[in-house]
Structures are given as structure tokens and as C-alpha cells.
Amino acid sequence: MLSLLLLIATAVQAHMHLNYPPTFNASNNPHTTGTGDPYLNYPYGCCGRTIPMPCRGYLDLIELPEGAPVATWAAGSVQNFNLTGIGNHYGGSCQVGFSVDKGTTFQVATSYEGNCPHRNNGDGPDGQNFNFTVPADIPTGNVIFAWTWINREQEFNMNCASVTVTDAGDPEQQPPASSIAANSTIAATPSTAAAASSTAPAQPSSSSTYMLQGCSCACAADGCTCKCAGPNAARSLVQRKAHLQHLQRLRQIDNGAVSASQLKRAAAAVSYASRPQMLFADIDNGCESVKTTAELKYPNPGPDVVQGDGVYPLALPTPAGKCGY
């Protein structure tokens, strides 16, 4: 009986949480008073506990010393986060993003479709590092960094951290390296942007035509020209989005046709304000991921998408109307 209870206790704690940057009220957060929250690994709805959304109810700390920033990042810079816990559930899908309005909205920076956490790299933090690019035009100041994870058991977790974003030209803006990340077995290389869903058919050509947001866009490797019914400002944004989509399509067709740096520059050109909201699913809100057989494909992944290792197929959450698409 004792061994069974220990097994159950381990199972309900077999999850991951954001380790760097240190999340609100974590034991490794230098601003935490007391012992910290021992349940950061637990998914929402687990074990009879009510966990407030978003950020596990810790948004009230952002105006207090306990919610002071734990990292300083440059707008447009490549940064990393890492995860830790006692069970990575053999992967899943993750998103990271930011809130610049004290937690009212959360917009996507990068989506990791499959193999997040890294299924074969243990429970972290070593081996569980992920890179992302801070949006180039995100408002500067103290903001909230958010990480979400949806595994193949239809479980959702979310952790948040307070960070400072400084202007890209600010000489004071040297982001502190995580000592844990520095000792990681994973090399700190920029994430590889991969293809998001496209409204255009795959064409093995360096030029293509796309229909995007009511605009007709003719795209080549160096840019797109779109004809839209809307104003010029809207057309300019659609052209940038279409260019990113086209580069992603070219990379799918021929991995050597487009470099990772080209994709990064195109993704950075998509404004922060135009990025989609992070997906919240499997929290009794009517939106559910596919259980067991697939890892989550985000319906609105944003401009920077990192594809997993292909061990599991990707599937959209359902129903579409409840999941934002």
C-alpha cells in the first residue's frame, strides 16, 4: 500500500515548470519570500487544486518586491529559457510570449510544435533549453514573460516571470546569462523557424502567389507585393507576413533555399501588436487538444515556429470556434 501511494504521489507531480527565467514565487526566484510554491509542476486542474488563470494567480505580485524582474533582455535579441521538473511526459507542445499590459493579454513570441520539453533529454534543467527571439518592436520596460505547455494527456501548465525589456540600442542592455543554461548539454543556437499553416498550395518555385487577409500577394525571395482593398498601412503589414510565409514555404521545399537568418529577419519584421494571442486549452474552456495520439499544432502559432522531431503527428485542438480559429 505504501509503495502504491508513493507511486501515485510521484505520478501527480510528474510535470515540468519554467526554471529560467525564475517564475513568480519559485524557490529559485531571488525575490521570493519563504519557501516558494511547491506545486509549480502541477498542471491546471490537477489533484483537486484550483489554480487561477493566468500565471497561476501570481499577477498581484508584479507591483510588489516579490515580483521584481529576474532578467533583462534586449528587444530583438535571441534569448533562452529552460525547464525543470520530475517528468517530461515524452514531449508535448509549448508557447512562449509576453504580456505588456500586466497580464490582460499574452501575445506569442515563439511556438514549439512537438518535442517540448525535449522528450529524450530528461527532466532538466540541463538538456531542456529552448531559444527564442524577443520581438524587435515590443514595448520596453517591465513585462511578463509566459510559458505554456500542453502535453498528450490533455494537460495544460503555465508559468510566468517578470523581465525587463530594453531598447535594442541601449548599451546597458546586456542580457544576463543563465548559469544553468551555460552548463547545458544543448548548444545555445538560434531556434529554427518552421512552416506555419499556409493558405497557399505548396509550389516548388522561388516565386508564388498567396491570398492572405483578403489580399493577393505575389512573392519572391526578396519580398512580396500585395494588392489589398484596405489602407496602405495594412497592406504593408500583410506584405511582411506574406514574405515570411513564402520563405517558410521555400524552406519546406528545399531546406537549403532559405537560411535560418533570413527566416529570423522576416519573423522580426512582423510587429508585436499583430502577433496572435497565446493558446489556452484543456482548462475547461471548451478547447481541447488531441489526447495520446498526437502533439498539438497551434492554430495561430505566430511568425516564429519551431517544429519538433516528428515522432508524433501534429493535430489542431478542437472545436475550431472554441480554439480561436
Q: Identify the CATH number of the domain in which residue 14 sits.
A: 2.70.50.70
Same domain, 95 and 225: no
Range 175-192 average pLDDT: 34
In this predicted model, what pLDDT tens digit does every residue of 270-283 receive, in sequence order? Answer: 889 999 999 999 99
Domain extent for 59: 2-194+276-322
Most confident of 51-55, 182-186, 230-234, 264-268: 51-55
- Least-confidence region, from 74-78, 201-205, 291-295, 296-300: 201-205
Query: Which three cell numbers, joined as nine digits, stand for 29?
Result: 526566484
pLDDT: which is higher, 105 or 47: 105
Check residue 2 and give its pLDDT. 38
Same domain, 22 and 53: yes
Same domain, 153 and 35: yes
Ramachandran region of residue 9, left (φ > 0), alpha (ψ -120 to 50) or beta? alpha
Check residue 231 and give its pLDDT. 64
In a domain, 190, yes or no: yes
Question: Which residues sit opposite 145 in a β-bridge?
Answer: 98, 161
**148 Cβ partners below 8 Å, 6+ apart?**
94, 95, 96, 156, 157, 158, 278, 279, 280
Q: How many domains does the chain have?
A: 2
Distance, CA of 24 to CA of 55 (rounded, Å): 8
- Beta carbons of 158 and 54 less than 8 angstroms apart: yes
Q: Choose one of 272, 287, 312: the last residue of a domain.
A: 272
In this predicted model, what pLDDT tens digit does every residue of 226-284 receive, in sequence order? Answer: 888 766 656 777 888 788 878 777 766 676 777 777 777 777 778 899 999 999 999 99
In a domain, 47, yes or no: yes
Same domain, 52 and 111: yes
Check residue 168 and give its pLDDT. 79
Same domain, 156 and 240: no
In a domain, 203, yes or no: no
C-alpha distances in Å from residue 311, one per residue of 116, 120, 136, 294:
12, 11, 33, 9
Same domain, 268 and 120: no
Same domain, 166 and 261: no
Query: Which three cell numbers, joined as nine digits, stand for 201?
Result: 498550395
Residue count (the chain): 325
Same domain, 46 and 157: yes
Same domain, 159 and 232: no
Query: Which three cell numbers, joined as nine digits, stand for 69?
Result: 524582474
**Helix, strand, coil shares, percent, the chain, to 5:** 20, 25, 55
- Beta carbons of 94 and 114 less than 8 angstroms apart: no
Query: Which three cell numbers, joined as nine digits, stand for 267?
Result: 519573423
**4 Cβ partners below 8 Å, 6+ apart?**
none
pLDDT: which is higher, 241 or 315: 315
pLDDT: which is higher, 222 or 53: 53
DSSP states of 26-81? -TT-TT--SS--TTTTSPTTGGG----SSGGG-GGGTTSGGG--S-EEETT-EEEE
Same domain, 212 and 233: yes
Q: How confident is the model at residue 173 (pLDDT cuts 50, 70, 90)?
A: very low
In a domain, 87, yes or no: yes
In a domain, 160, yes or no: yes
Distance, CA of 2 to CA of 247 (rounded, Å): 57
Same domain, 70 and 216: no
**106 Cβ partners below 8 Å, 6+ apart?**
54, 97, 98, 99, 144, 146, 277, 278
In a domain, 261, yes or no: yes
Check residue 169 and give its pLDDT. 59
pLDDT of residue 176 exceeding 90: no
Same domain, 148 and 253: no
In this predicted model, what pLDDT tens digit does every residue of 58-102 receive, in sequence order? Answer: 999 999 999 999 999 999 899 999 999 988 999 999 999 999 999
In this predicted model, what pLDDT tens digit does every residue of 126-162 receive, in sequence order? Answer: 999 999 999 989 999 999 999 999 999 999 999 999 9
In a domain, 289, yes or no: yes
Range 177-190 average pLDDT: 33
**How many other CB atoms are there within 10 angstroms of residue 79's CB atom?**
23
CA 25, 15, 23 angle in degrees (round to 5)? 20
**How many other CB atoms are there within 10 angstroms of residue 104's CB atom?**
9
In a domain, 200, yes or no: no
DSSP state for residue 210 in the 8-state scheme = E
